[in-house]
Structure 1
Amino acid sequence: MSYVLRKTVDRPVEGFVRTVDKSKIPTCNILGVNIAAINMEWLIGYLKKHIKDLTGDYICVSNVHTTVTSYEEPDYGAIQNGGIMAIPDGGPLSTIGRKRGHINMARTTGPSLMGEIFKVSAEKGYRHYFCGSTEETLEKLFQKLKENYPGLEIAGMYSPPFRPMTDVEDEVIVKVINDTKPDFVWVGLGAPKQERWMAAHQGRVSGLMIGIGAGFDYYAENISRAPEWMQKSNLEWFYRLMQDPKRLFKRYFYTNTKFIWLVLRGK
């Protein structure tokens, strides 16, 4: 399969080129990451309008953990800033943005974004590829999506090995994804692995890549989302912590504490 290079208004990427003007997306710089100063309504409208032009690019779903990691690791920060946008999944990010004058900025979580896109997919004819998680979770995800979103076109699913893939294996999966001609490629490898994967495949993968962390588990119904009142109160992280304390306690304790400290110091 070959792809025609088109004139770009932004930096080119391998295979595909960016054809939308990234500078028109409002941003708020938080610890060096240009977080999109948007809300869900704006984001859905933007994706509906530009989805075909975003193929080969990626969106980071950013929170306190990824923002602090970006501050500590400049190469990861460059990845956060290197896609089409980094959306404010974490409530504290949108809160800071509003305090800095972006009055319409609101939390746009990865799972909520998935749901909003799934709702309009049958009407729009969007095709979806899912890359990440385990085969068991992907099987459950397939069944639940078919039950809950009639007409949703699932182009394909792939559970990558936990070891690093060889170059040959990587080329094979890229071809498999591209042959299915997806509009959205949902990447559920967990941060920071999923962002590094998307950046490494920028310009090579057909479709818009979006790193959604635990999104596969939510829609496979392996885990439940926090009640809406907790989401609106920026407490979803606490709900997740209660579900998986062994894995998340150290991360949340360290990154949340450091984030507060850095913000109070004016960083």
Structure 2
Amino acid sequence: MIDRGKHNVLGVRIDAVNYQAAVHKIVDAARMQRPMAVSALAVHGLMTGVLDREHRYRLNNFELIVPDGHPVRWALNWLHGTKLPDRVYGPNLMLEVCETAAVAGLPIFLFGGSEELLDELQAKLTERFPGLQIAGTRASKFRTLTEPEREELVDEICASGAKIAFVGLGCPRQEVFSHEMKQRVSMPLLAVGAAFNFHAGQLAQAPRWMQDRGLEWLFRLVKEPRRLWRRYLYLNPLYLGLLFLQLTRLYSINPEAVDPPAAEMCYG
């Protein structure tokens, strides 16, 4: 088990952990019914916190942020000497948590995506982990929730008997949701993004050789160029430039340089 604490990467505190340590933290919080916000951040997710002081505040109040992408893991190793041998890939973390939850008898809740996606995801997960209890599912409304809708969702999650909730709303909406709702549901909320689509069989994953070389972004860009070209062609060079500045100690973003959100947004 590797847990080398939180470290500043461009102003966002990332946990230098492996899968075993991350799953242990999540399951422990689930058993204790302790509020916990968890996210797996690749470069895009990290940069949402770099460029937005309010969102940086949210991320730095997460109990666990794991290095989803190899470029984020490399940054931890280069900047802080953490010597992490592997990333903690969000889709794989979801499977690891589901496997442990099945054995430990911890029911889960799935929130996000469409009804069709959730039906396929639920079928695939229960086939893969026969002992997994899925206490409930709720599709996204793909907009900001009203106050009554938010309270209805909280009541549904809490009444379901779930001990762990997975949130698949896309970045950064899922992180906003997890930050705002964790105290209301008193359980780990895992923002896992495209993991829902991957595990439901609706979205192809990059080949392993591309993942291992930090090129998953290129695979996704080729698949969805119109939607993703601005994200990757702007954010990736900016990430590398800021990382160089922090590495050479010419400039570093202070994790305390944040602004508390002026109001709750509660995407759902």
Name the TM tier (shorter chain): 0.7 to 0.9
Question: Could you say which residue in structure 2 is the equivalent of 1:179?
Answer: 159
Question: Could you say which residue in structure 1 is the equivalent of 2:11?
Answer: 32
Question: Could you say which residue in structure 1 is the equivalent of 2:266?
Answer: none
Question: Could you say which residue in structure 2 is the equivalent of 1:80?
Answer: 59
Given that residues 73 and 84 in structure 2 are in contact (C-alpha distance below 8 angstroms), is that contact kept between their aligned partners in structure 1?
Answer: no
Q: Write the distance in 1 (CA, Å) between the matches of 2:28 and 2:148.
A: 35
Asked if 1:58 corresponds to 2:37, the answer is yes
Q: Write the distance in 2 (CA, Å) between the matches of 1:103 and 1:162.
A: 39
CA deviation vs aligned residue, 1:184-204 (integer Å, no higher than 9, x gap): 110001111111111111210
> For 2:185, what is the secondary structure of its paired residue?
coil
Given that residues 27 and 101 in structure 2 are in contact (C-alpha distance below 8 angstroms), is that contact kept between their aligned partners in structure 1?
Answer: no
Q: Aligned to 1:128, which of 104, 108, 111?
A: 108
Asked if 1:158 corresponds to 2:128, the answer is no
Q: After TM superposition, give the deviation of residue 105 of structure 1 in Å.
A: 5.7
The residue identity in structure 1 corresponding to 2:228 is L
Q: Aligned to 1:251, which of 231, 236, 241?
A: 231
Given that residues 126 and 182 in structure 1 are in contact (C-alpha distance below 8 angstroms), is that contact kept between their aligned partners in structure 2?
Answer: yes
CA deviation vs aligned residue, 1:131-153 (integer Å, no higher than 9, x gap): 11111111111221222221211
Q: After TM superposition, give the deviation of residue 117 of structure 1 in Å.
A: 1.6
Asked if 1:101 corresponds to 2:81, the answer is yes
Q: After TM superposition, give the deviation of residue 25 of structure 1 in Å.
A: 6.2
Alpha-carbon RMSD: 1.7
Given that residues 29 and 35 in structure 2 are in contact (C-alpha distance below 8 angstroms), is that contact kept between their aligned partners in structure 1?
Answer: no
CA deviation vs aligned residue, 1:14-44 (integer Å, no higher than 9, x gap): xxxxxxxxxx860120111010011112222
Question: Could you say which residue in structure 2 is the equivalent of 1:14?
Answer: none
Given that residues 95 and 106 in structure 1 are in contact (C-alpha distance below 8 angstroms), is that contact kept between their aligned partners in structure 2?
Answer: no
> For 1:204, what is the secondary structure of its paired residue?
helix
Question: After the TM superposition, which of the residue ranges 144-153 and 30-39 deviates more from structure 2?
Answer: 144-153
Q: After TM superposition, give the deviation of residue 87 of structure 1 in Å.
A: 0.9
Q: Write the distance in 1 (CA, Å) between the matches of 2:33 and 2:174.
A: 18
Q: Write the distance in 2 (CA, Å) between the matches of 1:229 and 1:48.
A: 31
Given that residues 182 and 188 in structure 2 are in contact (C-alpha distance below 8 angstroms), is that contact kept between their aligned partners in structure 1?
Answer: no
CA deviation vs aligned residue, 1:102-124 (integer Å, no higher than 9, x gap): 01363101101011122223211
Asked if 1:143 corresponds to 2:123, the answer is yes
Question: Could you say which residue in structure 1 is the equivalent of 2:213?
Answer: 233
The alignment's TM-score, normalised by the length of structure 1, stands at 0.86
The alignment's TM-score, normalised by the length of structure 2, stands at 0.86
Q: Write the distance in 2 (CA, Å) between the matches of 1:51 and 1:159.
A: 22
What percentage of residue pairs aligned between the two structures are identical?
Answer: 32
The residue identity in structure 1 corresponding to 2:152 is V
The runs of 5 or more residues in structure 2 that have no matched partner are 247-251, 253-268
Question: After the TM superposition, which of the residue ranges 53-62 and 138-147 deviates more from structure 2?
Answer: 53-62
Structure-to-structure mapping, 1:102-117, within 5 angstroms = 102-104=82-84, 106-117=86-97
Question: Could you say which residue in structure 1 is the equivalent of 2:98?
Answer: 118
Given that residues 33 and 187 in structure 2 are in contact (C-alpha distance below 8 angstroms), is that contact kept between their aligned partners in structure 1?
Answer: yes
Give aligned pairs, total.
244
